[in-house]
Amino acid sequence: MNTPQRVEHAMTDKGYVPLYATGIVEQPWESYTPEDHETWSILYRRQRDLLKDRACREFLVAQDAMGMGEALIPRFDVLIEVLQKATGWTLIGVEGLLPELDFFEHLANRRFPVTWWIRRPEQIDYIAEPDLFHDLFGHVPLLMNPVFADYMAAYGRGGVKAHAVGPDALVNLTRLYWYTVEFGLIREPEGLRIYGAGIVSSAGESKYCLESAAPNRIGFDLKRIMRTRYRIDSYQKTYFVIDDFAQLFDATRPDFRPYYSELAPLESFPAGSVQAADRVFNRGTGEGWLSGGDV
Ligand code: PHE
Ligand code: FE
């Protein structure tokens, strides 16, 4: 097998763009340096501390059950044993972002692609592309949850379908992934909590999404999400809030093809807009859903 590569943004004739990798690689665990393990430890400790009263119960319980530790970068083969028994999911090592259809097909077959390399020390607070910390710490724990595990596989099958429908359908479907899997919030008895991988792997956004007065927090609405643009270069302007994972699974059960046709002629909503039908859970509503008692 060739040596696994690290594939990320690069300067090309089209500017600074993300590059796509296709190779499936064995995690080269022996090649991690003491500095790599230290990066994992720093990030792991910082996020666990921030997340203990910010992440949803399901995430924290699942992460503990998986046996990810803070001392060393986890070994995929050890995690896979636990994960496969729990929900039938497995992990595959990849060098970077995959082409869309490859990604969907892996998910549909319960294989989650995890970037094998970890960010450099100077990228601790921000990196543009998914690395091992984002993929493993952020995405993998919830694959232990049976309802979320089924949702992710269904999303993969939906992706293969949307790919056949065309680019507009893919835009709609990708927004759903963005606003749930990456940046979703959930209502728990104690208040709003985080489940999105893009948030749980970011120190800044873990605080911002719950505590800042700036973003909108809007009740989950499938077609509303499919029409809403998103930001990739800053914290989100809007977060969508689910009641529980069953709501997500049930709402996404129908065939989306009629939805794609219905949405095709409609304008998209700007990332930060509030629509008349939105159920807004912002700070200051007195609903008591935010943590910290400073509503
Ligand atoms: N039901 C969707 C479809 O027919 C598939 C899907 C399931 C998409 C779950 C996203 C999440 O396309
Ligand atoms: Fe991600």
* Four-point Cα dihedral 272, 278, 281, 282, nearest 10: 40
Residue 62: C-alpha distances to residues 57, 112, 138, 140 (Å):
8, 16, 11, 9
Q: Is 159 in the pocket of ligand 1 (CB under 6 A)?
A: no
Q: How far apart are CA 226 and CA 231, in angstroms?
A: 14
Question: Mind listing the pLDDT tens digit of every residue in the chain (295 residues)?
Answer: 578 888 887 777 777 777 788 789 999 999 999 999 999 999 999 999 999 999 999 999 999 999 899 999 999 999 999 999 999 999 999 999 999 999 999 999 999 999 999 999 999 999 888 999 999 999 999 999 999 999 999 999 999 999 999 999 999 999 999 999 999 999 999 899 999 999 999 999 999 999 999 999 999 999 999 999 999 889 999 999 999 999 999 999 999 999 999 999 999 999 999 999 999 986 534 444 443 332 2
Measured from the Cα of 162, ligand 1's closest atom is: 12
Q: Residue 98: is it exposed, middle or buried by C-beta count within 10 angstroms (0-12/13-18/19+)? A: buried
Which tokens go with 222?
Answer: 């499938």
Q: Residue count of the chain, please give it.
A: 295
Ligand 2 centroid – CA 1 distance (Å): 26
Rg (CA), the chain: 19
- 103 within ligand 1 shell (Cβ under 6 A): no
